[in-house]
Structure 1
Amino acid sequence: MPFDSTHPRDGLNDPEIADTLSRLHRDARRDRWVFARALPSIALGFLRGRSVFESAEPFLSDAYIPVSPELGRLMYQVARAAKARNIVEFGSSFGISAIYLAAAARENGGRFTGTEMLPHKFRIAESNLVSAGLKRWADIREGDALESLEPLDGPVDFVFLDGWKEMYIPILHLLEPKLADGAIIFADNIHSFRKTLKPFVDYVCDPRNSYETTVVPIGSGVSISTWREQSKEKPDCRY
């Protein structure tokens, strides 16, 4: 894997990055109209015990559903502190989280690899990486992530899971042989997809699976796991 450490060191304060993120977070406010169109489905889902996001899922092909600036900055800072050089994302959407993670990869002299199933989102995400000045250190792979990530070289230092929730475990299983000791895994929407993601949370909270995990109340709930093959201590995974 080619790593390139020739870059400016302005981090998220880089004008191209800051301006692009500001524009995208502003544009993402239009998601409220997506949820407005989904209201009948959301109301029916409520009666059936489903979350807002689960009920609105069929309407989300044109929605940003972005990470918040708070979560984006947290991931950037954790990746920087961990000196993560090989950063992978499942579910890049329009590329907001990709910019935060690609900025960390650039600062660490590494590379970011994202994935996106929908062609129109893939094209826009790639364009947003160009606008942020990060394309040299990043790429997004179009199509089924199980196929596009299979040839990825390891070791992988940092993973962000934010695509289809049923795929969190299969994607994690695909990446496990490639994970570096101490690799960090962020997974979003733990609370908003509580039922769907319960098997995933149970998996990363089981010490027999070599993870140490906590779930934090940021946005719609985020799990943060560390991969340690020799871990024996049972983690506290209350959520």
Structure 2
Amino acid sequence: MPFDCRNADHTTSGLNDADVAHTLRQLHHQAAGRDALVFARALPAIISGKFTGRSVFESAEPYLSKAFIPVSEEFGRFMYLTALSRGARKIVEFGTSYGISSIYLAAAARETGGFFTGTEKDSAKAQVALANLNEAGLSRWSDIREGDALESLAPLEGPVDFLFLDGWKDLYIPVLKLMEPKLAPGAVIFADNIKTFRKTLKPFVDYISDTSNGYETTILDIGSGVSLSVWRKAR
């Protein structure tokens, strides 16, 4: 069912909510500073990677454990609006990190009367993400599951209306296939870093681009490349 704005409390909900806006502003600023230092340290590996055909992110990967590498404000708002227009009540994220994207998605879940579930393998990052969601006033509508996403998402019940893939790239297909039986008809699936991990994610892009697998897909020129798919169910 599409989102009905008449049911929303516009004084407390949305990205313009004071707590949500303040937390996102702080986190985007913090991420920009920290990630600049991370990539500066990774610069020698990035330069050498250019001679071996590796992308910037692939070359810098060993240095990224403490990096944010968040979604942009543009993409975060786009996902928020997409989830809102879809009326997505069950929203799932693979690869929460410090929870910037989670805030955008949990804010949408609050407005639709739904719930956001994130996943994060790194326990320290998961705890920070939970704290950030709490600071944004979104704890009631969200949770982060720690550990291997293939294990933590296995018990999750459907229907899932919205799925965001942003964890380890070689797990995009396994996580997506795990979620397929749980996807609602017309579910929206976003996947990030399509262009920066072009080689690694080619099998994933091929899979979601094959309509016989149940998806209608387009690749958007947002940030590091984003795929947008709608689940129609495999034939």
Shorter chain as denominator, the TM-score bin is: over 0.9
Aligned residue-pair number: 226
Verify the 8 A CA contact 2:103 2:138 in the aligned structure 1.
Answer: yes
Partner residue, 1:26: 29
AA of the residue aligned to 1:151 = P
Using the size of structure 2 for normalisation, the TM-score is: 0.94
Describe the superposition over 1:147-199 as per-residue Cα deviations: whole angstroms up to 9, x where unpaired: 00000010000000000000000000000000000000000000000000000
> Are 2:48 and 1:44 aligned?
yes
Partner residue, 1:216: 220
AA of the residue aligned to 2:151 = E
Partner residue, 1:186: 190
Q: Tell me the distance in 2 between the aligned counterparts of 1:200 and 1:224.
A: 12
Describe the superposition over 1:183-228 as per-residue Cα deviations: whole angstroms up to 9, x where unpaired: 0000000000000000000000001101000000000000000000
How far 1:112 sits from its partner (Å)?
0.1
Partner residue, 1:151: 155
After TM superposition, the structure 1 = structure 2 runs for residues 1-239 of structure 1, keeping only pairs within 5 Å, are 8-9=9-10, 10-29=13-32, 30-229=34-233
Q: Tell me the distance in 2 between the aligned counterparts of 1:11 and 1:83.
A: 14
How far 1:230 sits from its partner (Å)?
6.3
SS at match of 2:107: helix
Partner residue, 2:4: none
Q: Tell me the distance in 2 between the aligned counterparts of 1:161 and 1:229.
A: 18
SS at match of 1:196: coil
Using the size of structure 1 for normalisation, the TM-score is: 0.93
Give the 4+ runs in structure 1 shifted more than 6 A. none
AA of the residue aligned to 2:160 = V
Describe the superposition over 1:12-50 as per-residue Cα deviations: whole angstroms up to 9, x where unpaired: 000000000000000001201100101111112111000
Q: Tell me the distance in 1 between the aligned counterparts of 2:171 and 2:234.
A: 26
Describe the superposition over 1:119-146 as per-residue Cα deviations: whole angstroms up to 9, x where unpaired: 1111100000000000000000001000
Gaps of 5+ in 2: 1-6
SS at match of 1:181: strand
AA of the residue aligned to 2:66 = D
Q: What is the identity percentage for the equivalent residue pairs of Structure 1 and Structure 2?
A: 65
AA of the residue aligned to 1:170 = P
Please, what is the CA RMSD of the aligned residues?
Answer: 1.2
Q: Tell me the distance in 2 between the aligned counterparts of 1:12 and 1:164.
A: 28
Partner residue, 1:3: none
Q: Tell me the distance in 1 between the aligned counterparts of 2:146 and 2:106.
A: 17
Describe the superposition over 1:93-125 as per-residue Cα deviations: whole angstroms up to 9, x where unpaired: 000000000000110000000000111111100
